[in-house]
Chains A and B, each alone.
Chain A
Amino acid sequence: MSNISRVFPVFAIAFAVIYIASVYFNLAVLTYHPQLVQWGPLVEAPKQGPAMYWYGWLITSAAGSAAIAALALALPARALDRACAVLVWLVPLIMIAVIMYILRGYFLR
């Protein structure tokens, strides 16, 4: 467990980046149509009522960051640990700033 857990910070860093990319480029692996109570694969256009992509973005981010974290197991533990100690909070903070910029239209109207 301790060997696997050392890449948990990598998962967090990758998750923040992939999630924001998923939102910006709409990389949802599934779409939910709440009015129809219907799921669809990948990105589908709204059918009746709104289409919800958030669940799809979540799965995209979890799968992508899990894959990156698995690859990071091959990296030297000490160097990875040192880099992650800063990046683990800095990258999510930057991604929050990015999403605030993306959503700025709501606050500047």
Chain B
Amino acid sequence: MFSFLLIIHSLLAVTLLGALTHQTISVWWPVAKRTGSFISSVRSVPSMTYTNAVIVLYLVTAVFGAWIYTEYRLSIRVTLQDYRMHVPEGAFELKEHVVTIGLGLLPAYWYYWRQPADAAHARTRAIVTALLAAIVWYSFLTGHVLNNIRGFGS
């Protein structure tokens, strides 16, 4: 059961990671004229359209994460402590907290991306998006490493 939920959580996280990465690249490194190359295509995505998808994906991924978190506390964390794997344990503790700070950031993220886009908030919009992307990247990589240590089917 928890392995299935973990896979769903991972797939949602991959989708969220892709959406936020695209949006961050397009807002920090926009392209003036689309050339048709892969890099140009990535830079020229309509970043505004990602906002609602990012919020929904973040919330749903967090709900699945909160659900499987009980299994982490009961089975996985104990193993990490038994094997004195303090760095992965600490990395996951940090993930728990930065993801929550990201959760609280979502209403502000929506506010700065609401239409019509306010030019005065362009810098804030870009930084908030990059911060959320950094949180999701860190969380994804930490979750991936923890899954490699003791995840699927354990």
Contact = CB atoms under 8 A, between A and B. Distances in A.
Contacts of B127: 89
Q: How large is the interface on B (under 10, 10 to 19, 20 to 34, 35 or more residues)?
A: 35 or more
Contacts of A57: 100
Interface of B: 66, 69-70, 73-74, 77, 86-87, 89-91, 93-94, 96-98, 100-101, 103-112, 114, 121, 123-124, 127-128, 131
Contacts of B121: 85
Contacts of B89: 106
Interface of A: 5-6, 8-9, 11-13, 15-16, 19-20, 23, 32, 34-35, 49-50, 52, 54-55, 57-58, 61-62, 65, 84-86, 88-89, 92-93, 95-96, 99-100, 103, 105-107, 109
Given A88-B108, A88-B112, 13 more contacts: A5-B111, A9-B111, A12-B108, A16-B101, A34-B74, A54-B69, A62-B104, A65-B104, A88-B105, A92-B105, A99-B98, A103-B97, A106-B87
B73 A50 contact: yes
Query: Main secondary structure on chain A at its contact with chain B?
Result: helix
B101 A92 contact: yes
Interface centre among B96, B111, B112, by most chain A C-beta atoms within 10 angstroms, is B111
Interface centre among A19, A62, A86, A92, by most chain B C-beta atoms within 10 angstroms, is A92
A8 B104 contact: no
A24 B139 CA distance: 21
